[in-house]
Amino acid sequence: MLSHRASLDVSRALAQRIARLLAAHRVLIGTRRRRRVLGCFAQAVLLLRFMRQRAAVSDLARDSAISLSSAYRYLHEALDVIATQAPCLSTVITEAVRAGHEYLLLDGTLICTDRIHDAGPGTDRWYSGKHRRHGGNVQVICDPDGRPLWASPVEPGSTHDLTCARRHALPLLYPAARQGLPTLADKAYTGAGAGIHVPVRRPCGAQVLDATTRAWNSYVNSARAFVEHGIGHLKTRWRALTRVSLCPRRITAIMATALVLSTWENRY
């Protein structure tokens, strides 16, 4: 067997912060000392390897000298602990209003999965016809600079962006718009309601948009480019989001963990 040294391109301060949260969680649930195979810092490294490198759980178990079932338990526990640190949408909106943001950016993304077949009434719910692959639909809200602020719970990939937004985001975005904080989105959210601004669709036939409407579309599309950049950064930085091999319902915790880790990294 060939062994080699490896490094992880995250700060030690980030791993230590995760380890402190895991230690507090163990105290909270009453874990006795020296009853765990892995210490808190080693569990934090296991989580970061999964998030940053998309390491297979079998590899994490082998490198940590623990069983596969223990590796899954450590991973799921760490994901749940960090995911609870993600802010709720009401807190995000309150802070955005306090910071004086002109608007928020809303967009959906598909987190790919494998080995999924959930047959509903005549359809495979986790299959996205738009992307032609299996995955989960997650709605993401960013600030005007493209920094991700909030991510919704996952919905099956066959669910339309507007439907997901109505379930998880729009009920709180409407009051925010009345406070002077509108939301910009793409054409998939046409008909979302007051305060959700989208580009105007091109008329059918040979009709063309007038200059004012074209200028509006250009403004919305140029502003929306930042939310796509923010989502792309999340998926590039935390490669676990490129394809999830865990239960697709775990995408909620993985996405929230990626959001929290990115926020912490930007503060260091």
Tens place of pLDDT per residue across the chain (268 aa): 666 667 888 999 999 999 999 999 999 999 888 889 999 999 999 999 999 999 999 999 999 999 999 999 999 999 999 999 999 999 999 999 999 999 999 999 999 998 665 655 556 888 888 888 899 999 999 999 999 999 999 999 989 999 999 999 999 999 999 989 999 999 999 999 899 999 988 887 767 888 898 899 899 999 999 999 999 999 999 999 999 999 899 999 999 999 999 999 886 5
pLDDT for the residue numbered 119: 57
- Nearest Cα residue to 126 out of 154, 158, 96: 158
Are residue 32 and residue 110 in the same domain, yes or no? Answer: no
Contacts of 149 (CB under 8 A, 6+ apart): 87, 92, 96, 104, 141, 142, 143, 259
Are residue 103 and residue 202 in the same domain, yes or no? Answer: yes
DSSP letter for 8, please.
-
Are residue 139 and residue 215 in the same domain, yes or no? Answer: yes
Are residue 235 and residue 117 in the same domain, yes or no? Answer: yes
**Radius of gyration from C-alpha coordinates of the chain:** 21
Residue 53 lies in a domain: yes
* Residue burial 140-161, b: 16+ Cβ < 10 Å; e: rest: bbbbbebbbbbbbbbbbbbbeb
Residue 117 lies in a domain: yes
The percent helix, strand, coil of the chain (3-state, each to 5) is 50, 15, 35
Residue 240 lies in a domain: yes
The position carrying tokens 């874990």 is: 31
In order of 6, 66, 205, 222, 257, the CA distances from 72 in angstroms are 22, 10, 56, 42, 16
Among 28, 53, 83, where does a domain finish? 83
Among 47, 68, 83, where does a domain finish? 83
Residue 45 lies in a domain: yes
Are residue 134 and residue 97 in the same domain, yes or no? Answer: yes
Output the CA torsion sign for 232, 157, 162, 212: positive
Residue 180 lies in a domain: yes
Are residue 156 and residue 233 in the same domain, yes or no? Answer: yes
State which residues form the domain around 113: 89-248
pLDDT for the residue numbered 72: 96
Residue 156 lies in a domain: yes
Residue 68 lies in a domain: yes
Output the CA torsion sign for 177, 182, 186, 190: positive
Are residue 55 and residue 97 in the same domain, yes or no? Answer: no
Provide the 3-class DSSP secondary structure of residue 45.
helix
Are residue 66 and residue 125 in the same domain, yes or no? Answer: no
pLDDT for the residue numbered 78: 97
Are residue 62 and residue 21 in the same domain, yes or no? Answer: yes
Distance in angstroms (rounded) separating the CA atoms of residues 133 and 130? 8
Are residue 165 and residue 242 in the same domain, yes or no? Answer: yes
Output the CA torsion sign for 44, 231, 132, 153: positive
Are residue 66 and residue 140 in the same domain, yes or no? Answer: no
Reading the block at residue 41, the tokens are: 């810092």
Number of structural domains in the chain: 2
Residue 180: Cβ within 10 Å count? 12
Are residue 123 and residue 219 in the same domain, yes or no? Answer: yes
Residue 235 lies in a domain: yes
